[in-house]
Every structure is written in structure tokens, then in C-alpha cells.
Amino acid sequence: MIIDVHGHYTTAPAALGEWRQRQIAALADASSSPRASELSISDDEIRESIEKNQLRLMQERGSDLTIFSPRASFMAHHIGDFQTSSTWAAICNELCHRVSALFPEHFVPAAMLPQSPGVDPASCIPELEKCVREYGAVGINLNPDPSGGHWSSPPLTDRHWYPIYEKMVEHDIPAMIHVSTSCNACFHTTGAHYINADTTAVMQLIQGDLFKDFPTLKFLIPHGGGAAPYHWGRYRGLAQELKKPLLDEHLLNNVYFDTCVYHQPGINLLTEVIPVKNILFASEMIGAVRGIDPETGHYYDDTRRYVEATQNLTPEEKHLVYEGNARRVFTRLDARLKARGL
């Protein structure tokens, strides 16, 4: 089985975006705020949005199952207040749940959280609990910068985040560290802000000792880990200067990287530097980079091609990247698959 651990509902019916624009416009006049019940998206509209897009590409590229969460750039936690984010997160999470219910063999939900700048992360727990218990979510997306590029939140190792971590451990779910839209003109959302955040998360975890308090906590750093694998020697050296253990012990029992790296040399480097046990297959298809690479004639985000072509992985190691590691990290997904006899 080939499991893609990084998928977003980027092709949701247009009504979702239209409702969101109404919600944002109403921030200046609360009396015009739309109710969630005013958003109407039929099962047929969801089927069409998935069958013509993600499912079609999964079948063409040979992947079987996608862990599916709301569109990352749509999370936009910096917009409005907690109530704004709470309503929006509930709508988006329900849609991903409906996708998984309509296509149970191909999609499993992961949840966005209703984060808001300056708001206690504990406020996100009711939505997290609902998504795990009622929707069958197997993971969450955690935004380390709800401010959208201003980095006003404490680092991930701070006790500020502990209410979320306690629930992650309780339910044995990992978090993908994933920022949302940048509202800072200095940082392009997908080209700079995302990669900056991935790299920043790795360094924050090196500086702290979070996993002493939470030895079973699991984080997935997307987009191939940002700059971290490319500069792995730098981070090993910084950890040494900070009197931390070797990174294999300090990070790699709890931190994982995906394969959302959109060229062959990048996958080659990732699989050469990072231990195979810490790499999970992912594509983030129909996401940040949707075009065709003129050098290869294939889509940039067809990441299976790169995994297949690398000389750094044996067939047994490719099995770990495609399936084994995902089932070990996403234990609730593993339980679902075992219940289906897989």
C-alpha cells in the first residue's frame, strides 16, 4: 500500500470559498456574519471535486490512501478572533470527514485546529476531541505561528503548547507542523513562509528538551523538513554546541519528515541524510506547486517518481517509506486498516 500522509482539500467546491469571503467581510460588521448552516455543499459536489482531481491523480500515480486535511493556506488563523477560527475550522473539518466517508478506501481525515493569535491553545481541545472521536481523525495540523508571519507565539517547546501535546499523547496522534497564509509581505506563503516554518520548528526542537516531558509525542515536519536535511551538519553541530544529545537520540525518536520535495536531487539528499525510519511518503498534490517540470515532462508534485528512482533505498526501505512508517506513526490509521483486514 502507498500511503500519502500529506493531502489538503485544495479542490473544495467554490461555495466554501464564497462563504469564507462573507465571513471575512463580516468582521467589520458582525450583524452580517453568515451562519454555518447557510453553507450548502452536496455529496455530489464533493464527489465531483475529488474524483476529477485528487482521486484521479492518485489512480494515475499509483497511490492508494491519502491523509486528508483542510487546505493549509485557508486556515488563516490570523484572520478574526477565536470564534472566527472556531467556526471556520469546524466547517473545514466536517468537509474532510465527509470526503473520507464518501471515499473510505482512499481518504482518512486529519484535523485543523481553531488557533488564534494570543489565545490559549487549550481552546482548541473541543474541536480536536470531536475530530478524533466523531470523525476518526488520525492526526492534526499544528500551526506554530497563528499570527501569519509575525511569530508572536512562544516556541514549540514552551509550556504554552502543552495542552495540545497532552491530548496528542492521550489519543496517540501525531501533529504535522504546518503554517498557513503569510500576511507578512516579506515572506511568500508557500515559497518562504512554509519552508521557514519547517526549518524553524526543527531548530526550536533542537534547542529545547520537549521529548523529556513527552517521550511518545510525534511530529511530522512537512516539505522534506524545510532546509534541515540540506543543512543537517549545521544542526548536528549546533546541537553539540548547545550540549544536547546527538540528533538521532534528541530528535529522531519523535520527529519525522515527508517527501514533499519536488525534484530528484532533493529526494536523493533527503534519503541519504535522514534515516529511512524517519521518512514518510507524501506529495501534497494539487498544492503549492501544480505545474509540469519542463526538464522531465512530469508534474513536480508526482513525488512517487522520485522515490522510485532514487538509488538510496532498497525495496524493503521503500516499503517503509510508502507504508510501514506511516502505520507506525499514525497508529489510528494502522488500526483502521487492520480493521479492514489490511
pLDDT tens across 116-130, in order?
Answer: 999 999 999 999 999
- What pLDDT does 30 receive? 80
pLDDT > 90? residue 310: yes
Q: How far is CA 293 from CA 6, 52, 206, 297, 308, in A?
A: 21, 21, 35, 5, 17
CA distance 21 to 23: 5
Average pLDDT for 268-272: 98
| Residues designated as active site | 284
pLDDT > 90? residue 341: yes
* Long-range CB contacts for residues 149-156, cutoff 8 Å, separation at least 24: 149/78, 149/182, 149/183, 149/184, 149/186, 149/187, 149/193, 150/183, 150/184, 151/200, 152/117, 152/118, 153/117, 155/204, 155/207, 155/208, 156/201, 156/204, 156/205, 156/208, 156/210
Average pLDDT for 23-41: 92
pLDDT > 90? residue 327: yes
The structure's pTM equals: 0.96
- What pLDDT does 231 receive? 98
- What pLDDT does 31 receive? 81
- What pLDDT does 317 receive? 98
In one-letter notation, the amino acid at residue 269 is L
Average pLDDT for 195-216: 98
Read off the pLDDT band of 99 (50, 70, 90).
very high
* Bridge partner list, 66: 4, 107
Grid coordinates belonging to 44: 455530489
- What percentage of the chain carries pLDDT values higher than 90? 98
- What pLDDT does 119 receive? 96
CA distance 169 to 153: 22
What's the pLDDT tens digit per position in 35-67?
999 999 999 999 999 999 999 999 999 999 999
CA distance 324 to 316: 10
Average pLDDT, whole number, for the chain?
A: 97
Average pLDDT for 3-16: 97
- The answer to whether 136 touches 169, Cβ cutoff 8 Å, is no
